[in-house]
Amino acid sequence: MLVGYARVSTQTQSLDRQIDALVAAGVDRRNIYKEKASGKKRDRPELQRLLDELQEGDVVIVAETTRVSRSTKDLLELIDAIRGRGAEIRSLSEPWLDTTDSSPMAEFVRTVMAGFSQLERQMTSERVKDGLKAAKARGRKGGRPSKRNAHADAVMALYKGGLHISDIAKHEGISRTTVYKIIGEQEELES
């Protein structure tokens, strides 16, 4: 039986692209294990459930290796765990990951290619870090823009006008904690 595994790193990301690819490869939607969790986490309940429920002769299908593993060691351990249950694994985007071919050359190619995949992920991570460092050196900050800056003038005008904190928060659509922080920052600047 074909069994699929789809994973994204955050709750806001969509699994649709992977699920569509798995279904197109012949996996029944009912046999797709879906997970929204970082690939860096070792504890992924749906992946563990998939492994626990594997039957001899099953083939685990993934859209790409990054969905199931983040390192060569992790991928090789996962392959061993799947094969230890009498099952196989195949990636739709990396033809080298297909354990139904167990020849020595195929085993060697899998190991080398898994290493290249890990190298590519690490190089991408380094490029992102370098880009963030360069942006920071130019005075740019990453992350979500602060609500405090966008609401500071209005909050202070309402506060100085005598409005209660909870009313200011409702009026501006922000939390009371944010209102308090804005007031505190502004009073600190004024002193």
CATH value at residue 22: 3.40.50.1390
Bridge partners of 8?
Answer: 36
Does residue 104 share a domain with residue 12? yes
**Token duo for residue 90:** 């195949």
In a domain, 75, yes or no: yes
**Token duo for residue 188:** 């600190």
Inter-residue long-range contacts of 119-125, CB under 8 Å, 24+ positions, other chains counted = 121/66, 121/70
- Is pLDDT above 80 for 85? yes
Element (H, E) at 91: strand 88-91
- At residue 71, the pLDDT reads 75
- Is pLDDT above 80 for 117? no
Bridge partners of 5?
Answer: 33, 62
Q: Are 79 and 85 in contact (CB under 8 A)?
A: no
Q: Which residue has the higher pLDDT, 182 or 39?
A: 182
Q: Which of 45-49, 73-77, 132-136 has the lowest average pLDDT?
A: 73-77
* Domain region containing 157: 147-190
In a domain, 141, yes or no: no
> What percentage of the chain has pLDDT greater than the value 70?
96
pTM above 0.85, yes or no: no
Return d(Cα 75, Cα 65) in angstroms, integer.
8
Does residue 112 share a domain with residue 51? yes
Does residue 163 share a domain with residue 93? no
pLDDT tier at 23, thresholds 50, 70, 90: very high
Q: Which of 9, 71, 103, 175 is labelled catalytic?
A: 9
Does residue 153 share a domain with residue 99? no
- Is pLDDT above 90 for 22? yes
Known catalytic membership, residue 93: no
- At residue 147, the pLDDT reads 64
CB-count exposure of residue 165 (10 Å: 0-12, 13-18, 19+) = middle
Does residue 79 share a domain with residue 17? yes
Which of 79, 3, 5 lies closest to 46, judged by CA? 5
In a domain, 142, yes or no: no
At which residue do the structure tokens 């970082």 appear?
A: 38
